[in-house]
Structure 1
Amino acid sequence: MEIIIAIILGIVEGLTEFAPVSSTGHLILVAHLLEFTGEKAKTFEIIIQLGSILAVVFVFWRRILSILGIKKWQKGEEVGTLSIFHIAIGIIPFGIGGVLFYDFIKEVLFRSGTVVITLIIGGLLMLAAEKWKPHKPTAETLDQVTYRQAFAVGMFQCFALVPGFSRSGATLSGGLLAGMSHKTASEFTFIMAIPIMAAATGKDLFESWNYLTPQDLPLFLTGFFTAFIVALLAIKFFLQLINKIKLAPFAYYRFGLAFLFWIFIL
């Protein structure tokens, strides 16, 4: 039964981690319905998030090498100019907020009631971003992203410190308002997620190390690889989908998820 639970939660994580719908909210709801809770469940969630991170690295490995200065990414005659400084500018605000408010977030805000509220607020932000974004984006590709736009996305990302807000929902909204296209904002969000998620999950994994046991290895490995494979497919699909349907359908989906939370959790 635990292997089935691992597959289900791995699918949920892979589908929702990089969509603007709050993976935290989905995992809390589904785990509650499956009655999979406790310290082992929390450690399991950390493991499957690592699977999602690996999927991003797999999809964007050429771009990552270019950002690190190891090998320039090229498409035709165009050489990638997105640098590690763009990524650093984007993650610094979130990193500072995480360090200052980590304990407060974990002890006070990590509640089901908070998730319901932030699902709704995040959805409203996404609708606002679609309404008030510039008519013509100034950054149609990653190589047109400016430092100012990277910083703007980083500031919006701070909303995601509150559980349920959705990091991708916040950064996509910030990217649109800063003048990025939907696809560019999505790609920048995915790449910027790598150091942030790696640091956060690494810290949580270190603190949960005592809950890793050989008996649970099949559970953790099943969830990890399920999340990796599903996230790999979901990222590629989402990059094609976002230009077609924009953010509004995801916002309305969040409102529906908040309603389910209110019924089943609160």
Structure 2
Amino acid sequence: MLLVFKAIIIAIVEGITEFIPVSSTGHMIIVDDIIGFKSTATPHFAAMFQVVIQLGAILAIVVLYWNKIWTSVISFFKLEKEGLKFWSTILVGCIPAAVLGLLLDNWIEANLFNSLTVAAGLIIGAILLIFVENKYRKNSKTKSIDDVTYGQALTIGAFQCLALWPGMSRSSSTIMGGWISGLNNTAAAEFSFFLALPVMVGASGLKLYKYDYSSITGDQIIALIVGSLVAFLVALVVVDRFIAFLKKKPMRIFAVYRILVGVILLILIALKVISIYG
């Protein structure tokens, strides 16, 4: 059951990092390189696993924001203004990353899923986070996700494209886009959460569709189920605390953490403790 044990470790990392601005994909790649998940599970399964367990983390958003999701969905199907406006802005925000992701998915997986590109993404993303927070965070006017305009949604969606580079962080990228377009901390984070619903479901669905199930084993199925459950439970705790944190403190602490991890990672790569090829 070594595979399941390693899957649990990866899932804990996913649950902790999915919604905070430190890059869940980047951290899973780093931890994978350290514990050798790919060598235990096969690279093909590991790549699918790391995407699909994000569905578990996404379920935490569904649970925590169930009332908002349910009422807005009912409003949408009743063709009411509030529901139509809310979900159409989410759709607009999804378009840039969905188009670019479909076009570049295979190239990204082949060229950017290694510790060196993650280290670069962590450091560059941290510098961007500090700059954007200092320049735009205090200029926020939009305090509710219901008030997000189509132009703001498109700006946030364009910034979400940065997250196609492992290490940049989808959460960080969309929150920066929110700040630049005039959202306050809470609204930017919550819009980022809702934007993750169709994006992650789509990415996971694409990965599941492309996977060759003829080679899957019983242990791998167990690892996938357990990993998704663990990611859900951990994310459930983290999201609630992250929102509470954002209401009181700036996000530069995450930028400092990213730089430290990125530098340590570069040192480990230089010393050949970690291979950039996993």
Q: Quick check: 1:228 aligned with 2:229? A: no
Matched, 1:240 2:244: yes
Q: Give the aligned CA root-mean-square deviation in angstroms.
A: 2.0
2:126 aligned partner, one-letter code: G
1:152-231 to 2 correspondence within 5 Å? 152-210=155-213, 211-231=215-235
Does structure 2 retain, via aligned residues, the 8 Å contact 1:47–1:223?
no
Q: Deviations over 1:71-119 (max 9, x none)?
A: 79xxxxxx77851111011111111211222232222233322211111
8 Å Cα contact 2:93-2:153 kept in structure 1: yes
Quote the offset at 1:261 in angstroms: 1.9
Q: Which segment drifts farther, 122-131 or 108-117?
A: 108-117
1:110 to 99, 110, 113: 113
Provide structure 2 residue ranges, at least 5 long, that are not aligned to the other structure: none
1:35: how far off?
A: 1.5
State the alpha-carbon separation in 1 of the partners of residues 139 and 192 from structure 2: 20
**Any conservation in 1 of the 2:29–2:114 contact (CA below 8 Å)?**
no
In structure 1, the residue matched to 2:59 is 54
Task: Say if 2:20 and 2:242, in contact at 8 Å, map to a contact too.
Answer: yes
* Structure 1 residues 70 and 253: CA distance shift in structure 2, 3 A: same
Which residue number in structure 2 is paired with residue 18 of structure 1? 19
Distance of 1:11 and 1:227 partners within structure 2: 6
Q: Secondary structure at the match of 1:139?
A: coil
The 1:234–1:107 alpha-carbon spacing in structure 2 relative to 1, beyond 3 Å, is: same
SS of the aligned residue for 2:128 comes to: helix
Q: CA deviation at 1:209?
A: 4.2
Structure 1 unaligned blocks of 5 or more: 73-78
Letter in structure 2 aligned against 1:61: W
Deviation at 1:6, TM superposition (A): 2.4
Contact 1:67 1:82 in 2 (8 A): no
Partner residue, 2:260: 256
SS of structure 2 residue aligned to 1:151: helix
Aligned length: 260
When normalised by structure 1's length, the TM-score is 0.90
Deviation string for 1:120-175 (max 9, x for gaps)? 11111110111111534211111222222111111111111112111111011111
2:125, 2:168 within 8 Å by CA — same for their partners in 1?
yes
Q: Quote how far apart the aligned CAs of 1:223 are.
A: 1.0
How far 1:17 moved relative to its partner? Answer: 0.8
2:125 counterpart SS class: helix
